[in-house]
Chain A
Amino acid sequence: MATVGRILLVEDDPRDTELTMTALEEYNLSNEVVVAADGAEALDYLFCRGKFQRRTGENPAVMLLDLKLPKVDGLEVLAQIRSNDNLKMIPVVVLTSSREERDMVASYKLGVNAYVVKPVDFHEFVNAIKELGVFWAIINEPPPGSIRKK
């Protein structure tokens, strides 16, 4: 079996998390998912601090990032990642409900790798998540220093 890259899912809504996990389960990608419920937790994970201070320092293979988050919002997380030498190469996919142009423009300006609007239709949603998961966790070769499992 191919190697599976670690997915960092930054999502504050547990229902969205559940639906996302359901979709990823179909391709057995859910085991390699780490969920951060807000921007601060995501940064803790990436910088190995707080409750993540004991983890090994490798980066996730991809980060699925919601934009509207408590404490530290998605764009702020993105900005911090992109300004840190160790983190700036992490592929980031914005996964959001917002179709607003300014969010899209701001994300791309911060160097996001993909911008995906969560489809309202469940089938489309599941398909989108699956394709994202497969592409970024399996097909794509992540930058060196990313967590991948055989």
Chain B
Amino acid sequence: MWYQKRSANPERDRTQCAIMIVQTGRREPRMPQWRPSLAKIPAAILRYGLAVLSVAIALGVALLLANYDVRRVDFPLFLFAIAITSWYAGTGPAVVAVVVSGLVVDYYFSEPVHSFYITSSELPRWISFILFASLLTWFSSVRRRAERDLLQSRNELEKEVVVRTQQASLLNLTHDTIFVRDMNHVITYWNRGAQELYGWTAEQAIGKHSRELLHTVFPVPIEEVQAELLSTGRWEGELEKTKADGTRVVVASRWSLQRNEKGSPIAILETNNDITERKRGEEEVRKLNQELGNRTIELEAINKELEAFAYSISHDLRAPLRHMVGFTELLQKNASSIVDEKGRHYIMTILESAKRMGILIDDLLAFSRIGRAETRETMVSLEQLVKEVQSEVWQETEGRNITWIVGPLPDLYGDRSMLKLALVNLISNAIKFTRQRSQAEIEIGCAEKPKDGVVVFIKDNGVGFDMKYVNKLFGVFQRLHRTEEFEGTGIGLATVQRIIRRHGGQVWAEGSVGKGATFYLALPK
């Protein structure tokens, strides 16, 4: 445990300051629980008993020696008894021992013996005994008090060490990075979380200048950070630091300032959370958003360009076409008499091609408009819409024998004119591709009802198509029939697909050559 190893280190005071921050408010005043180590005599009686006993033993020994005519040993014996008493039993019993010894010496060993009366010649000896005994007692008590204080403070210190060691190891339990530095930014505490994050051990980090060790980069001038810390006692922000292996980390950092009793700042506790990954994620999101923004701007520009393109097609391509048709018509009208059959055929071909071109342009424009125009969604009755389309395409059915089977159709939410355009294309196709049937059959119905949408189908018994070309069916300018067989621009089904997709739906087809085709529209309700 680093704390214990370092306890003799001069850094220790700082470390303790640091830990104090953590335990602020949690320390309770500790009652001195010290008991003298040799106070095996807990009660006063025992202590005073010792005084009496030691004096009695001294008296016994002195009297015994007196019997053997050994004199003048009473002083050292009693002083020894007083010394023992004052040493082991404290000042009070020592005073008692001094008083009792004084009386006993007076009674047994001072002339006249066996009387408390004392001759003037014996008085100086007796007084010197009392003084000597008192001095001994006093010295002893002073010595004892010093020892007791020493013991007490050692005990307190030991307890403190235990508590702080526990706290320090608690801080070490956390994976959060915690370290403490003094006001000169010298690191004084470094927990396990700090070691895990930065790769420096406590031994390596403590005593180092924190900004130099970690190459801290501040988002604002350090003076501002210091000013805020000193005025509010705390600071929070994101810092960039460097690990022992040289990699950079971004941390969310919180600083707390500790002040001493006088109010002057003494230490800074800093906790760090590694937010490098989060920052990287944020940065990525920001980059992606920016890319998305750029892409949107690009798309908008492309869309504008497309619109301008469509506009110029609409205006500029139509004009020469009109002139071609116009002047050819004038030619046909004014010069028909001088043009032979072949010439008239050429004129007809020019006119037909020009008209076809006109239709192509119109279809293409309609197709591009679907992508550009905003949808205006309302509740649309498909049944009503089919009826309208049927009446619109009646010209195409003239002279034809067509059996219509129109089942009940749902209402749905969508752009009416777009949906109508889709139906016009599909129904016109059905009419067109059943042309060769003497008995054409066109069925429009609702195939199934998925939970949140409808599937409508348009089925015919026309020429159908080969399923291996099904992918080409909905492409722009993709045609599965030659123009002589069936006229068309190859834009109709592409338009249908675009409309249905803009409604969030899907379109697909099934068919076989000679047996007809079925087109399905799946639309959200």
**Residues of A near any B CB (own CB < 8 A):** 13, 15-16, 19, 22, 67-68, 96-100, 118-123, 125
Complex: chain A residue closest to B366, CB-CB: A99
B327 on the A face (CB < 8 A): yes
Let me know if B325 and A121 touch, CB within 8 A.
yes
B315 on the A face (CB < 8 A): yes
Let me know if B322 and A120 touch, CB within 8 A.
yes
Let me know if B311 and A19 touch, CB within 8 A.
no
Q: What is the CA–CA distance of A100 and B311 in the complex, to the nearest angstrom?
A: 7
**SS class of chain A's interface: helix, strand, loop or mixed?**
loop
Q: What is the CA–CA distance of A13 and B323 in the complex, to the nearest angstrom?
A: 10
**Residue from A19, A100, A120, A123 in contact with B358 in the complex, judged by beta carbons closer than 8 Å:** A120
Let me know if B314 and A122 touch, CB within 8 A.
no
**Residue from B322, B327, B330 in contact with A97 in the complex, judged by beta carbons closer than 8 Å:** B322
In the assembled complex, the CB of A9 is this many whole angstroms from the nearest CB of chain B, namely 15
In the assembled complex, the CB of A64 is this many whole angstroms from the nearest CB of chain B, namely 15
Contacts of A122 in B (CB 8 A): 322, 325-326, 328-330
The interface bits of chain B over 275-304 (1 if a CB of A lies within 8 angstroms of the residue's CB, else 0) are 000000000000000000000000000000
Contacts of A67 in B (CB 8 A): 315
Complex: chain B residue closest to A98, CB-CB: B315
**Residue from B315, B354, B355 in contact with A68 in the complex, judged by beta carbons closer than 8 Å:** B315
Q: What is the CA–CA distance of A99 and B364 in the complex, to the nearest angstrom?
A: 13
**Residues of B near any A CB (own CB < 8 A):** 311, 314-316, 318-319, 321-323, 325-330, 354-355, 358, 365
Let me know if A22 and B322 touch, CB within 8 A.
no
Contacts of A22 in B (CB 8 A): 330
Complex: chain B residue closest to A96, CB-CB: B315
In the assembled complex, the CB of A127 is this many whole angstroms from the nearest CB of chain B, namely 12
Let me know if A19 and B326 touch, CB within 8 A.
yes
**SS class of chain B's interface: helix, strand, loop or mixed?**
helix
Most buried by A among B315, B321, B326, B358: B326
In the assembled complex, the CB of A70 is this many whole angstroms from the nearest CB of chain B, namely 13
A-B contact count (CB 8 A): 56
Q: A120-B325, A122-B326 are in contact. Are A97 and B319 (CB under 8 A)?
A: yes
Let me know if B321 and A120 touch, CB within 8 A.
yes
Contacts of B311 in A (CB 8 A): 98, 100
Contacts of B315 in A (CB 8 A): 67-68, 96-98, 100
In the assembled complex, the CB of A66 is this many whole angstroms from the nearest CB of chain B, namely 10
Let me know if A120 and B318 touch, CB within 8 A.
yes
16 pairs of residues in contact across A and B, judged by CB atoms under 8 Å: A13-B323, A15-B326, A16-B319, A19-B327, A19-B330, A97-B316, A97-B318, A98-B311, A99-B314, A120-B354, A120-B358, A121-B355, A122-B322, A122-B329, A122-B330, A125-B322
Contacts of B355 in A (CB 8 A): 120-121
In the assembled complex, the CB of A13 is this many whole angstroms from the nearest CB of chain B, namely 6
In the assembled complex, the CB of B331 is this many whole angstroms from the nearest CB of chain A, namely 11
Contacts of B318 in A (CB 8 A): 97, 118, 120
In the assembled complex, the CB of B312 is this many whole angstroms from the nearest CB of chain A, namely 9
Contacts of B321 in A (CB 8 A): 120
Q: What is the CA–CA distance of A119 and B359 in the complex, to the nearest angstrom?
A: 12
Q: What is the CA–CA distance of A118 and B326 in the complex, to the nearest angstrom?
A: 11
Contacts of A98 in B (CB 8 A): 311, 314-315
Q: A22-B330, A99-B365, A121-B355 are in contact. Are A15 and B314 (CB under 8 A)?
A: no
Contacts of B325 in A (CB 8 A): 120-122
Contacts of B365 in A (CB 8 A): 99
Contacts of A99 in B (CB 8 A): 314, 365
Q: A99-B314, A100-B311, A120-B355 are in contact. Are A15 and B323 (CB under 8 A)?
A: yes
Q: A121-B355, A122-B329 are in contact. Are A19 and B322 (CB under 8 A)?
A: yes
Let me know if B326 and A13 touch, CB within 8 A.
no
Let me know if A118 and B329 touch, CB within 8 A.
no
3 smallest beta-carbon distances between A and B, as pairs: A122-B329, A120-B358, A15-B323
Q: A120-B358, A121-B355 are in contact. Are A97 and B314 (CB under 8 A)?
A: yes
Contacts of A100 in B (CB 8 A): 311, 314-315
Most buried by B among A67, A68, A121, A123: A121
Q: What is the CA–CA distance of A10 and B60 in the complex, to the nearest angstrom?
A: 153
Q: What is the CA–CA distance of A57 and B314 in the complex, to the nearest angstrom?
A: 37
Most buried by B among A15, A67, A118, A122: A122
Contacts of A96 in B (CB 8 A): 315
In the assembled complex, the CB of A15 is this many whole angstroms from the nearest CB of chain B, namely 4
In the assembled complex, the CB of A132 is this many whole angstroms from the nearest CB of chain B, namely 16
Contacts of B330 in A (CB 8 A): 19, 22, 122
In the assembled complex, the CB of B69 is this many whole angstroms from the nearest CB of chain A, namely 146
Q: What is the CA–CA distance of A4 and B315 in the complex, to the nearest angstrom?
A: 31
Q: What is the CA–CA distance of A138 and B311 in the complex, to the nearest angstrom?
A: 34
Q: What is the CA–CA distance of A122 and B328 in the complex, to the nearest angstrom?
A: 9
Q: What is the CA–CA distance of A13 and B327 in the complex, to the nearest angstrom?
A: 14
In the assembled complex, the CB of B196 is this many whole angstroms from the nearest CB of chain A, namely 65
Q: What is the CA–CA distance of A110 and B341 in the complex, to the nearest angstrom?
A: 51
In the assembled complex, the CB of B128 is this many whole angstroms from the nearest CB of chain A, namely 131
Contacts of B323 in A (CB 8 A): 13, 15-16, 19
In the assembled complex, the CB of B387 is this many whole angstroms from the nearest CB of chain A, namely 27
**Residue from B322, B328, B329 in contact with A16 in the complex, judged by beta carbons closer than 8 Å:** B322
In the assembled complex, the CB of A103 is this many whole angstroms from the nearest CB of chain B, namely 8
Q: What is the CA–CA distance of A19 and B318 in the complex, to the nearest angstrom?
A: 14
Most buried by B among A68, A99, A119: A99
Q: What is the CA–CA distance of A120 and B358 in the complex, to the nearest angstrom?
A: 7
Q: What is the CA–CA distance of A22 and B323 in the complex, to the nearest angstrom?
A: 12
Q: A120-B355, A120-B358 are in contact. Are A125 and B314 (CB under 8 A)?
A: no
Complex: chain B residue closest to A22, CB-CB: B330
Let me know if A15 and B329 touch, CB within 8 A.
no
Contacts of A97 in B (CB 8 A): 314-316, 318-319, 322
Q: What is the CA–CA distance of A97 and B311 in the complex, to the nearest angstrom?
A: 10
In the assembled complex, the CB of B298 is this many whole angstroms from the nearest CB of chain A, namely 23
Q: What is the CA–CA distance of A97 and B327 in the complex, to the nearest angstrom?
A: 17
Let me know if B314 and A118 touch, CB within 8 A.
no
In the assembled complex, the CB of A99 is this many whole angstroms from the nearest CB of chain B, namely 6
In the assembled complex, the CB of A110 is this many whole angstroms from the nearest CB of chain B, namely 18
